[in-house]
């Protein structure tokens, strides 16, 4: 079973920041937080990952709380093309290589 909890759906206005929360209260010290997204009918796309520090790349920012029990993915200026299902995944890197997926958050970016 997935070790994360996400709201099933969210809305965001185009051009505004989209903040997608994720709870992972049982996360272990050697587990990373990964974010993927799946645009309708396409294969999932890797976005970002982090352990305990905040991370930023060209797609998004990842904010992880100090106790690591929750995180937020931030899309700074959402566009219509960001409409997708966003998955937050906790992953142990090493022996457990597979990704365990929940139901994700369906983000609708509205014009």
Partner 1 sequence: NAGVMQNPRHLVRRRGQEARLRCSPMKGHSHVYWYRQLPEEGLKFMVYLQKENIIDESGMPKERFSAEFPKEGPSILRIQQVVRGDSAAYFCASSPGQGIGYEQYFGPGTRLTVT
Closer CB to partner 1, 18 or 89, in the complex = 89
Site for partner 1 in 55-94 (CB under 8 A): 87, 93-94
The owner of tokens 């996360």 is 27
In the complex, least distance from residue 96 CB atom to partner 1, rounded to whole angstroms: 9
Backbone angles phi, psi at 98, to 5 degrees: -75, 155
Residues 29-58 as x/- pattern, contact with partner 1 by CB under 8 A:
---x--------xxxxxx--x---------
**Tokens read off for 44:** 């999932």
Whether the Cβ atoms of residue 16 and residue 77 lie closer than 8 Å to each other:
yes
Among 68, 104, 105, 109, binds partner 1 (CB under 8 A): 104
Contacts of residue 101, Cβ cutoff 8 Å, sequence gap at least 6: 2, 87, 89
Nearest to 73 by CA among 19, 110, 14: 19
In the complex, least distance from residue 110 CB atom to partner 1, rounded to whole angstroms: 22
Whether the Cβ atoms of residue 54 and residue 71 lie closer than 8 Å to each other:
no
| Residue 21 makes contact with partner 1 by CB under 8 A | no
Binding site for partner 1 (CB under 8 A): 2, 32, 41-46, 49, 87, 93-94, 97-104
């Amino acid at each position: 079973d997935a070790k994360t909890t996400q709201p099933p759906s969210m809305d965001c206005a185009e051009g505004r920041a989209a903040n997608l929360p994720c709870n992972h209260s049982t996360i272990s010290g050697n587990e990373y937080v990964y974010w993927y997204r799946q645009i309708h009918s396409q294969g999932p796309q890797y976005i970002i990952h982090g352990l305990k520090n905040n991370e930023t790349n060209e797609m998004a920012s990842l904010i992880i709380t100090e106790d690591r029990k929750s995180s937020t993915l931030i899309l700074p200026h959402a566009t219509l093309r960001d409409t997708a299902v966003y998955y937050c995944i906790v992953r142990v890197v090493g022996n457990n290589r597979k990704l365990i997926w929940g139901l994700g958050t369906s983000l609708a970016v509205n014009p």
